[in-house]
Chains A and B, each alone.
Chain A
């Protein structure tokens, strides 16, 4: 049980640089002569660990590489070098409604979303009523999802993800879904995940929710780890820096 839930070691991710200029032959040759790689590093030598049962926050300015890091954890992006190990069933909420088809009913989309996340049909059959009740969509479940309000849509997506019973839950800025009542409910569900020693990794711009909710936090700056430690300290340091530079 000493195995960390998440282990990230010296992870580097490079992307091809996009530019408005067309890659003409002349520019390509010029680039070769200048030994420019034409790549940008989104993450550079990032290392950290997350223990089981921990709520871990990731903060940093836009473009710091937070989403890229989450994609590495989700396993959809293979780093150019380094190691990512995630132990247990992972559920990702990087974007809401992944795998949903707006033309289809809420009922159909619960199945699509669940199956996309690696559930079995049988499991979804069993959890179906619960998922619908949690999302508070009993009346609308047979309507096409494109007729849903954005709040309804978010609730449905969030409900599907929470019912995967994940060991590791990856969240990207989605806590702010629905009304106050639903936010409280989702907060309670996440506490539940933590209580059964699940792990939550949580990317947010809301420093307050990170310091309130997370045990530890990571501060990313231009793809590098600036600081890892207790959430309060990291948030305070981040706050101090950003306010002093007037950002």
Chain B
């Protein structure tokens, strides 16, 4: 370090080299994502349709169960929009971990920016996510005659922001899962709790009756994320604070996760 360049300059240069390397490899990322997508189709009879079918079936299960208890359960659009948004994020936790653990051969043999793996994984699930959002829009039109208004444009910011947020999470689980495989066992439980704490299967009015839950929401990134999506897709009133919180969470978690991943990716092969 005493040589000539200060550490900050050194790291800035390294980051720039890393990012340009990543950009060079964009075709690889795309082929990896599409390839995994296709491979998944190849092995099941319904193939691509599972991306839509999975969330639909899940929504249906909750609709049947919670529709009998909570009034919100009867609002299928409320339920589905929340479920799909949640799914996109919760998938990135398992997906991030698996993207690294399942590609040992690639990691051990070839040199490339390691973050390609979680990015490709996320791209793959993003394709399914966009399809499922289309489904919500169509159902909203068919069931309630809701025509997308100007708030629909929020998606232009929301999808990339959630992508960045998810990438941060996927990077964290991806890097953690390498030395601690146990991480993979915890994720489903974590996701389950996160689902129940988020405004998906219970109506927003439920918050007024449960002050504990209400006090938790400022610490739940998905609260603001889901609220913004519902404004965009279903025309709910938009609270600008939600949009702000969403952006803040995304930038913070995304940047931390990606930063940690890049900093420590050099040691991945040693643990595999």
Measured CA separation A2–B187 after assembly (Å)? 54
Give the contact stretch, choosing among A20-28, A114-122, A128-136, A219-227.
Answer: A114-122
Chain A residues, CB < 8 A from B27: 115, 120-121
Least Cβ–Cβ distance between B46 and chain A, in angstroms: 15
B38 touches A (CB below 8 Å) = yes
Q: Which of A1-54 contact B (CB under 8 A)?
A: 15-16
B54 touches A (CB below 8 Å) = no
Known A-B contacts A103-B39, A103-B42, A108-B38; the reply to A76 vs B109 at CB < 8 A is yes
A116 pairs with B35, CB closer than 8 A: no
With both beta carbons as reference points, the residue of chain B lying nearest to A93 in the complex is identified as B109
Binary contact track A70-92/B, C-beta < 8 Å → 1, others 0: 01001111100000000000101
Measured CA separation A205–B157 after assembly (Å)? 57
Task: Known A-B contacts: A104-B35, A112-B31. Give 10 more (CB < 8 A).
Answer: A71-B109, A71-B269, A75-B111, A90-B111, A99-B106, A101-B39, A104-B39, A111-B31, A112-B35, A118-B112
Q: Which of B225-272 contact A (CB under 8 A)?
A: 266-267, 269-271
Number of contact residues on B: which range applies?
20 to 34
Chain B residues, CB < 8 A from A104: 35, 38-39, 42
By a beta-carbon cutoff of 8 Å, the part of chain A in contact with chain B is: 15-16, 71, 74-78, 90, 92, 94-95, 98-99, 101, 103-104, 108, 111-112, 115-118, 120-121, 144
Q: Which of B27-55 contact A (CB under 8 A)?
A: 27-28, 31-32, 35-36, 38-39, 42-43
User: Quick one: which of B38, B43, B106, B111 has the most chain A CB within 10 A?
Assistant: B111
A76 pairs with B110, CB closer than 8 A: yes
B269 pairs with A99, CB closer than 8 A: no
With both beta carbons as reference points, the residue of chain A lying nearest to B36 in the complex is identified as A101
B35 pairs with A76, CB closer than 8 A: no
B39 pairs with A76, CB closer than 8 A: no
Chain B residues, CB < 8 A from A78: 266-267, 270
Known A-B contacts A95-B105, A111-B31; the reply to A116 vs B110 at CB < 8 A is yes
Chain A residues, CB < 8 A from B110: 74, 76, 92, 98-99, 116-118
A116 pairs with B111, CB closer than 8 A: no
B107 touches A (CB below 8 Å) = yes
With both beta carbons as reference points, the residue of chain A lying nearest to B267 in the complex is identified as A78
22 A-B pairs whose Cβ atoms sit less than 8 Å apart in the complex:
A15-B270, A74-B110, A74-B111, A75-B111, A76-B107, A76-B108, A76-B109, A95-B108, A98-B106, A98-B110, A103-B38, A104-B35, A108-B38, A111-B31, A112-B35, A115-B27, A115-B28, A115-B31, A116-B28, A116-B106, A116-B112, A118-B110
Measured CA separation A76–B106 after assembly (Å)? 10
Known A-B contacts A77-B269, A115-B31, A116-B28; the reply to A98 vs B105 at CB < 8 A is yes
User: Quick one: which of B31, B38, B108, B269 has the most chain A CB within 10 A?
Assistant: B31
